[in-house]
Amino acid sequence: MVADMTGWIVAGLLVGTGGLVAGLQIRRRRRRKRLMRGPFPKAWDAILDQNLPMVARLPADLRHQLLGYMNVFLDEKNFEGCGGQEITEEVRVTIAAQACLLLVGRESRVYPRLKSVLVYPHTYVAGGKGIFGGKYEETSARLGESWQTGAVILSWHSVLGGAVNVEDGHNVTLHEFAHQLDQEDGAADGAPKLEHASSYRSWARCFQREYKEFLGQLDQGKKTVIDAYGATNAAEFFSTATEAFFEKPRQLREKRPELYEELRGYYGVDPESW
Q: In the 8-state DSSP scheme, what is residue 185? A: G
Q: Among candidates 184, 267, 180, 263, which has minimal Cα distance to 225? A: 263
pLDDT band of residue 8 (cuts 50, 70, 90) is low
> How confident is the model over 165-210, as pLDDT tens digits?
888 889 999 999 999 999 998 889 999 999 888 899 999 999 999 9
Q: Among candidates 129, 131, 137, 39, which has minimal Cα distance to 80? A: 131
40 and 71 in contact (C-beta within 8 Å)? yes
**Residue partners of 64: CB distance under 8 A and separation at least 6:** none
> How confident is the model over 122-163, as pLDDT tens digits?
988 876 554 445 554 566 778 899 999 999 999 999 999 999
Q: Which residues of 11-36 are buried (b: 16+ CB within 10 A; e: fewer)?
A: eeeeeeeeeeeeeeeeeeeeebeebb
Distance between CA atoms of residues 94 and 164, nearest Å: 10
Q: How far apart are the first and last CA of the chain?
A: 70
Distance between CA atoms of residues 226 and 217, nearest Å: 11
H-assigned helices in the chain: 2-37, 43-51, 53-56, 60-76, 89-101, 156-164, 172-182, 199-219, 234-247, 249-255, 257-267
Amino acid at 146: S
Span 82-87, average pLDDT: 97
pTM score, whole prediction: 0.87
pLDDT band of residue 253 (cuts 50, 70, 90) is very high
Which domains are present in the chain?
A: 37-185 (1.10.472.150), 199-273 (3.40.390.10)
